[in-house]
Structures are given as structure tokens and as C-alpha cells.
Amino acid sequence: MEPEHLFKLNGKVAMVTGASKGIGKDIAKLLARAGADLALVARNKEELENVAAEIKALGKDAFILPFDLSDIIEIPAIVKRVMDHFGHIDILINNAGLNIAKEAESVTEDDWDKVMDINLKSVFFLSKEVGHYMREQQYGKIINMSSQMAFVGYFKRTAYSASKGGVTQLTKSLAIEWAQDQINVNAIAPTFIETDMTKPMFEDDRFKQEILNRIPLGRLAKTEDLYGSVLFLASDSSSMVTGHTIRVDGGWTVW
């Protein structure tokens, strides 16, 4: 394979959750620039339409699916709509995520369930459904968005850390089960990422400095820091890589 073609996704269809804003939106546009057509999943229809317009301006198809991923029973119907539209799904990016930042004593059962439903339960059941079609075509790339909190603990992250630890272990189990079907299942574990949504969090200078002190590279991550890992795992460059979680954490988990 020529170097310029290492990360090309021409002819591929990628399904991205949490695609209406932030990291999901940026990843969807990245995949489109690499040649993929997109199925975009998120709850907000208007925001999805805006992302789809940007992707179509890049010359790629974008199919929107306004949907709440906690509605597990409807997942098969959503995936079938993507299959009916494109005929195949080659890449699944399980990016949608939720954190309810509370001290452990304040976490309610409802808080716990909301975090688990989006961060872990939906990842399994969406992967299960898309995996059915990937097994039929004997090809697929599943990328789960984990977190450095799958490997370390942190304040006000009990449910979140538990869910992301589950994602990393789920990634390993699915990789083993589906290897014979030529489906690569991997994950990415970022550190704190500076986005429009997280910006208010870092307005607290003391909190921001505490986070920076834990990152050996000395800065917060940006969405662009994930691009290399995403393209590597989504492309055929990673055809012999499965069951791994790539830590894009600036060295946080090296300590």
C-alpha cells in the first residue's frame, strides 16, 4: 500500500454516534475528508442537518438519524435504515457519551443508569446489531470511545469511570469473538479534551492547573489529537490490530 493511501476510506460507510456536535461532529467530518460516506446519529435533528450539510459540501453522502441511544429496543430499526440507504456499514464509531459529575455519595440510581445506558449499554447493543451485518460481509471496523478514566480514578467520576472501564473490557471481548469474521474492535482513551462543551469547566483556574499537573505533556488535548488514532483504526492500516485501547492522554496513565 502506497503511503498516500494508508488512511484512505474511499467507498466506505461510517456510522458515528454523538455526531451532532463536539468530538463526534469533528470525527464525522474527518472521515468524510478521508473518503467515507456518513450515517450520523444524535438526538438533535437540526444540529444533525447542519453537520450533514457540511459533509455534503465535501462531496460525500450524509444520512441523518435523530435518535436517543438509550432506546435500545429501536436500535435494530435504526441500523436497518442505514443498511437500506447505503447497503453496507464498514466503520462504527461509538462516540456518544455522558458524564454526571457528582461525588459518590450524591450519585442516584437514575444518574448511574443514565451514564451506563449511553456510555456502555448502547455501545454493546449498537455494536451487536452492526456486527451482525459486518459478519455477513466479513469486514468491519468498530471504534469505541473509552477514556483514561478506564485506567485511573478521579473525583466525581464513579459512574463514568465504571462505564468506560466496561467499554475497554467490552472492546476486548468483542474483538475475540469477532476476529474470525475479520472485524477489528478497538478503542481510544482520551484525556481531558478542550471543546466548546468542556470550556466552562476549565474556567476554574485551580481545576485546570490540577489537570495540567497530571498530564506530562503539559497541555489539554484537542479533538485533532484524536485524528491519527481514528484514521488508523478506521482504515486498513490497522487490519492486524484488534482488542486494543489507544491512550491519547498526554502520558497521564504513565505515572
The torsion of the CA quartet 97, 103, 104, 110, rounded to 10 degrees, works out to -50
Cell of 81: 435504515
Burial of 209 (0-12, 13-18, 19+ CB in 10 A): exposed
Distance CA 108, CA 99 (A): 13
Distance CA 233, CA 31 (A): 11
* Helix ranges restricted to H, the chain: 22-33, 45-57, 75-86, 109-116, 122-137, 158-178, 205-214, 227-234
CB atoms within 10 A of CB 189: 23
Q: Is 160 a catalytic residue?
A: yes
For the chain, state the CA radius of gyration: 18
In the set 133, 139, 160, 227, the catalytic residue is: 160
Sheet harboring 91-94: ordered strands across? Answer: 62-66, 37-42, 13-17, 91-94, 140-145, 183-190, 245-248
Identify the three-state secondary structure at position 56. Answer: helix
Active site residues: 160
